[in-house]
Amino acid sequence: MKGRILVTGGAGYIGSHTAVELQNAGYEVIILDNLSNSNAEVIDGIERITGIRPAFVKMDLQDKEALRQLFEDYPGIKGVINFAASKAVGESVKKPLLYYRNNLVTILNLLDLMPDYGVEALVFSSSCTVYGQPDILPVTEEAPIKPALSPYGNTKQICEEIITDTIHAGAPFKSILLRYFNPVGAHPSAEIGELPLGVPQNLLPYVTQTAMGIREKLSVFGDDYDTPDGSCIRDYIHVVDLAKAHVKAVDRMLNGESADAVEIFNLGTGKGVSVLELIKTFEESTGVKLNYEIVGRREGDITKVWADPEKANKVLGWTATETLADTLTSAWKWQQHLREKGIM
Ligand code: UD1
């Protein structure tokens, strides 16, 4: 065993895939989750994939005393990966206080208690949303932070600042801030994947639900952008690749390899893919025809963003390896699994 890692939000989409990769790498995983946007059966999926059942504590990370009790019950936690957060951009505009409270109180509780229990490392889930529409593409970690377009995006910027300020003030742990581009896909076993509640807001769940006949038609939000085919461009990264980067980040901090107490890495493939290209690749790789129509632009969407992942490649020793076709196929396989199970 390499040591105990607390994965907050570990029953969620990216958290569950990361729990799998941590266990594959020999870490002992403790999952904390309030199940507000996930399901306890995910723990069974992690066990089926890895053969190891992670410890699971159902609690709200806003409850500081419950967090203290968790650290008492599981002594020797070496690292924390914080996925526990609300993440729907549109909802955050309607319910800003919910987002500020949930996403900020939770990080404050962790930062308060980590030193009391000797935790050495914190990985924080941030987002390329902090760059807004970058002036230069691909976007590096040096690109300026732009004013946030939503309370959700603002919480990511504020959390990055809170962590950085706390460490610069002498907190006895290190942190790595990971800026994700667009995580998509599912574990190839189809045991775990993304489970959006209600009507999906993100592209790929909408694509797979339309392919399954759950949604009648996919709306492509705009074909009059300044891009080769007019639709928006993003950097879609397979969630398993993304999960593996978290293991690298934890290894780096616990092995004393960090160059600075706070480090930032972009996690993307380095390739920009338009909405229409994604649809075409989905149709070609799954053999399923997608019903879609072009509609007007969605408010708040940026035109194009993709990562310069060179720092993560060279410094973290991590590279995204999955192809877009395999990534989209994994998402489709997961959607079929949900149908077979009668979930969706
Ligand atoms: C957004 C957030 C990001 C957040 C992520 C996950 C911004 C700028 N980005 O990413 O920070 O981490 O959600 O919640 O706030 N699209 C359609 N039809 C659909 C859905 C989407 O055409 O039904 C298009 C969008 O216009 C966009 C692309 O697909 O061009 C990707 O959209 P989405 O999956 O929602 O992710 P982002 O908006 O890039």
Contacts of 276 (CB under 8 A, 6+ apart): 220, 223, 229, 230, 231
User: How many C-beta atoms lie closer than 10 Å to residue 55's C-beta?
Assistant: 16
Relative to the CA of 231, which ligand 1 atom is closest?
Answer: 30
Long-range contacts of 201-205 (CB under 8 A, 24+ apart): 201/88, 201/89, 201/90, 203/234, 203/275, 203/278, 204/236, 204/278, 204/328, 204/331, 205/331
Cα–Cα distance, 136 to 40 (Å, whole number):
42
Domains of the chain: residue spans and CATH: 4-184+237-267 (3.40.50.720), 203-234+270-340 (3.90.25.10)
Distance (Å) of CA 235 to CA 56, 285, 336: 32, 18, 24
Atom 38, ligand 1: which residue's CA is nearest?
301
Instruction: Look at residue 158 in the predicted model and tell me its pLDDT.
Output: 98
Catalytic positions: 152
Residues with CB under 6 A from ligand 1: 87, 89, 127, 129, 150, 153, 182, 201-203, 206, 218-221, 232, 234, 275, 298, 301-302
pLDDT at 31: 98
List the pLDDT tens digit at each of the 344 positions of the chain: 789 999 999 999 999 999 999 999 999 999 999 999 999 999 999 999 999 999 999 999 999 999 999 999 999 999 999 999 999 999 999 999 999 999 999 999 999 999 999 999 999 999 999 999 999 999 999 999 999 999 999 999 999 999 999 999 999 999 999 999 999 999 999 999 999 888 999 999 999 999 999 999 999 999 999 999 999 999 999 999 999 999 999 999 999 999 999 999 999 999 999 999 999 999 999 999 999 999 999 998 999 999 999 999 999 999 999 999 999 999 999 999 999 998 88
Helix boundaries (H) for 172-311: 203-212, 239-254, 275-286, 310-311
